[in-house]
Amino acid sequence: MGVRINRRYGSTVQSPTVVILASDRITADGALAYLRTQPDLDVLPANQQHRADVLLLLVDNVTEATMELMRGVEEQSTNPSMRIVLVANDIQEHQLTKAIGYGLVSVLPRADATFARVVKAILDTRRGQADMPAAMVGWLVEQNRTVQREVLAPNGLTSTQLDTRELQVVRLIADGYDTREIAEQLNYSERTVKNVIHCMMTRLSLRNRPHAVAYALRCGAM
């Protein structure tokens, strides 16, 4: 695993390891050639996907085979922090929710996915940040409304297992705040925020921050 130097502070920071999987060889070779020039990334061969921090998946449209691939990578991964950055022309609503459970954090439309944006999305996974079109966030919001209206309310069920602090934190995550900014907003230490997130994800078996946001939306907490 590569290590880069933080020039501002003189410390070392572990570079995220990345595996590229693509639907065609030309796309894979182009992405591989570019990412290998990035000093902040450590590109692994495809047969090392089980230990990668980030899977960069490049496809035209998301098919059932794509979903099975994501599920397989999630099941075989030995890295509990594994994330998926998807570049695709299209993904369906029901696929998005399921893919988030597999580790998906960012969806970049192929037409807008410059190499610079792809690299930023990969690096942002270390900060718990996601990149998704607004329409997809809207899908998740609508799913929440449907569950609240048609499942929870008619049966008198509560909508969330999140406590007050967790709700505060997950709402700020949804608004795009990073750990430091959440700590400032809530007047907590960064350690406290990290502990809240860790406990919430462990208790509810959530894979990552976007998964936590999706869970809160589905449960009617947001």
String of DSSP letters for 92-104? -HHHHHHHHHHTE
Pairwise CA distance, residues 210 & 27, whole Å: 27
pLDDT digits (tens, 9 = 90+) for 137-158: 777 777 767 766 676 556 544 4
- 3-state SS of 4-22? EEECCCCEEEECCEEEEEE
Which residue stretches of the chain have pLDDT < 50? 1-12, 156-158
For 3-132, CATH gives 3.40.50.2300
**CATH 3.40.50.2300 boundaries in the chain:** 3-132
With a CB cutoff of 8 Å and minimum separation 6, the contacts of 83 are 53, 54, 55, 103, 104, 105, 125, 208
Pairwise CA distance, residues 177 & 110, whole Å: 26
Tell which CATH classification among 2.40.50.140, 3.40.250.10, 3.40.1360.10, 1.10.10.10 matches the domain 137-218: 1.10.10.10
